[in-house]
Structure 1
Amino acid sequence: MSITQSRFMYCSRMASEGVINQVASIVKVAREFNASQGITGMLVFDGQNFCQYIEGPSEPLAGLVQRIRQDARHTDFHELLALEETQGRQFESWSMAYQIVESDNDLGGFFHRQGTAALEYLLSLVPELDRA
């Protein structure tokens, strides 16, 4: 019996200046939780905007998405890629890859993309992020 895999992607804005001091802790907790649940993905932060793509077993991923939606540490939540079943993974070896980018990379560009266009945009940034 195979486990159904799903994926989800969103962007949001930091709720307050105090959140910036919590980002490292958020990533640490996410990595531990995700590893325990078989969830993988990537979080990119530019000091104001977040963009996150997550994938993994459908049930734990759906619970995580619900908690993310309710997290008061971010606002202006935009679903870019709806929670949907998928085959394979984009970030199989990363429980939560994390990259801080300079503001000139403008993660705000994610707010204008939807569906696979948003995911393709994130994937196009990965080589650049690897050099950062």
Structure 2
Amino acid sequence: MYAAHSPATAFFTHYTTSLCQPKLKIPAAFVVNFGARGGERCSMERRGEVTTWEVRIAEANGEFFFEEGWINFVEDNNIEERDVLIFSYVEPARVFVQIFGTNRCAKRIRNTPGYPSEIQKRLSRKNPTNNAL
């Protein structure tokens, strides 16, 4: 039997700008396992990719959100309306994210126009010593 607030190791959401921008709410059951704390950063990764996105976790009224850095993740991964995102717990403050398009197939970061040059430019501006993708 599933308890409403038992720890969860994964969650999904349908991406819509009205619900997912400028931040994304993290379900309470996932927060229990994830060990999230407001103000901390977490690492978001895509399986098979070398790029990692640092996203700040925000807390408001007992709820947790992916906030600062979240929009960079959305833009860099060409996430669009109605895409499905699956977040899987790896270890504290580290999640893998799978992205499925409206065609129900997994999206690859390399489908993003300008990959890797646009992502590399943005990352280089933030951290001039970051030259690896």
Please, what TM-score do these two structures have when normalized by structure 1? 0.25
Specify which structure has the higher proportion of helix.
Answer: 1
The one of the two structures with greater contact order (alpha-carbon pairs below 8 A, sep at least 6) is 1
Question: What TM-score, normalized to structure 2?
Answer: 0.24
